[in-house]
């Protein structure tokens, strides 16, 4: 069985990643992409029961609502909207390295001790965004999703956040650096650091430390430290193929439609909670926020 799918969005990422991913998926027969006013008509047209929406944050919510009202299956880019009030995810939950780490954490059946997410870079984007948090919302929500996915593998939820945001590079306003502490359901804490304005530091690491070992995740690498049966520490490092997750996400989306069974990584509830965590970090200003 094949599914007609319409791609709404003709930006660079939509053309270079979403369109090839749709064409690569054997269950998705047709891709129609548009960046014009025709998007609204395509979103409700009867010829495509599924739509993939990769449009600017301020435009997406209205088309998502129209597509859902027309009975469509909808896959939208993250974040699904500019804020929680409007929302009421490239998808890092589909990275090879993230899934390998999550699988290992589930097998351990361990208790979390602490964690950290550290991502530093200098973006070349220049246009001032028209939404809270600027690039921290647009790109930061993906790292929240990734961190929450790994914490969920250990059965942990985020219960409280305290955040501090700063503007390092004026053209990246309103803010381009976020440092936060997350408190989890088991009472432990960990750190979340994301900067888009750090010229002399470049890093992408997520580390989970448990009572049975630790896992350090990078885009194409998973390093594991554990103890063997004799109590001696042993380490291993796996190199994995780099993927932005779009191809895997598209295949999973098609399978969900065909089987009427949704993978949690694609759920609107997960996307909403990712945005909820990020929005509370951005609005914290040093005060604890309960989730």
> What's the chain's average pLDDT?
81
> Could you tell me which residue, 4 or 132, shows the higher pLDDT?
4
pLDDT value, residue 237: 96
Q: How far apart (Å, rounded) are the C-alpha atoms in residues 227 and 276?
A: 37
Burial class (CB in 10 A: 0-12, 13-18, 19+), 197: buried
Stronger pLDDT, 25 or 284, i.e. the higher one: 284
Average pLDDT over residues 153-161: 98
Kindly tell me the burial class for residue 36, based on how many C-beta atoms sit within 10 Å of its own C-beta (0-12, 13-18, 19 or more): exposed
Check: CB of residue 78 under 8 Å from CB of residue 92.
no
pLDDT higher than 80, residue 2: no
Distance in angstroms (rounded) separating the CA atoms of residues 9 and 24: 18
- Segments making up each domain of the chain, as ranges: 5-89+249-265, 92-243+267-290
Distance CA 272, CA 252 (A): 19
* pLDDT for position 220: 92
Backbone angles phi, psi at 132, to 5 degrees: -55, 140
Mean pLDDT, to the nearest integer, of 132-159?
84
pLDDT of residue 281: 96
Query: For position 89, what pLDDT does the model report?
Result: 39
pLDDT of residue 73: 85
**CA nearest to 95, candidates 202, 220, 238:** 220
User: In the predicted model, is pLDDT for residue 131 greater than 80?
Assistant: no
Q: pLDDT at position 150, please?
A: 97
Most confident option among 175-189, 231-245, 256-270: 175-189
pLDDT class of 35 with cuts at 50, 70, 90: low
The model carries a pTM of 0.75
Amino acid 223: pLDDT: 98
- Per the model's pLDDT, the better-predicted residue between 291 and 77 turns out to be 291
- 1 is written with which tokens? 């069985």
State the SS3 of the chain.
Answer: CCEEEEEECCCHHHHHHHHHHHHHCCCEEEEEEECCCHHHHHHHCCCCCEEEECCCCCCHHHHHHHHHHCCCEEEECCCCCCCHHHHCCCCHHHCHHHHHHHHHHHHHCCCEEEEEEEEECECCCCCCCCCCCCHHHHCHHHHHHHHHHHHHHCCCCEEEEEEEEECCCHHHCCCCEEEEEEEECCCCEEEEEEECECCCCCEEEEEEEECCEEEEEECCEEEEEEECCCCCEEEEEEECCCCCCHHHHHHHHHHHHHHCCCCHHHCHHHHHHHHHHHHHHHHHCCCCEEC
Give the model's pLDDT for residue 275: 86
- The pLDDT value recorded for residue 51 is 82
pLDDT at 87 (0 to 100): 36
Please check whether the domain covering 5-89+249-265 is classified as CATH 3.40.50.720: yes
Least confident range of 37-51, 151-165, 267-281: 37-51
Q: Output the CATH code of domain 92-243+267-290.
A: 3.30.360.10
Give 68-113 pLDDT, tens digit per residue.
888 888 887 655 444 434 333 346 777 899 999 999 999 999 999 9
């Amino acid at each position: 069985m094949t599914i007609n799918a319409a791609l709404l969005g003709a930006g660079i990422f939509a053309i270079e990643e979403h369109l090839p991913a749709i064409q690569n998926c054997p269950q998705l027969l047709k891709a129609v992409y548009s960046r014009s006013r025709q998007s609204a008509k395509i979103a409700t047209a009867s010829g495509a029961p599924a739509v993939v929406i990769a449009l600017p944050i301020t435009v997406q919510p209205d088309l998502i609502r129209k597509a859902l009202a027309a009975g469509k299956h909808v896959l939208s880019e993250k974040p699904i909207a500019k804020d929680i009030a409007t929302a009421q995810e490239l998808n890092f939950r589909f990275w090879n390295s993230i899934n390998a780490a999550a699988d290992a954490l589930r097998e351990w059946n361990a208790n979390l001790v602490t964690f950290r997410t550290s991502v530093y870079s200098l973006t070349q984007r220049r246009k001032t965004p028209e939404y809270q948090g600027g690039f921290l919302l647009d790109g930061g929500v993906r790292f929240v999703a990734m961190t929450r996915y790994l914490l969920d593998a250990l059965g942990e939820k985020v219960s409280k956040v305290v955040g501090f945001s700063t503007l390092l590079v004026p053209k990246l306003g309103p803010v381009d650096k976020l440092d936060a502490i997350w408190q989890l359901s088991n009472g432990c804490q960990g750190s979340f650091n994301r900067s888009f304005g750090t010229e002399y530091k470049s890093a992408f690491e997520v580390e989970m430390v448990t009572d049975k070992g630790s896992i350090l995740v990078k885009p194409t690498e998973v390093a594991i430290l554990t103890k063997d049966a004799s109590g001696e520490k042993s380490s291993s490092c796996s190199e994995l193929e780099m993927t932005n997750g779009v191809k895997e996400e598209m295949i999973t989306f098609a399978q969900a439609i065909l089987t009427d069974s949704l993978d949690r990584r694609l759920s609107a509830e997960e996307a909403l909670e990712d945005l909820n965590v990020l929005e509370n970090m951005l609005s914290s200003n040093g005060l604890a926020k309960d989730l």
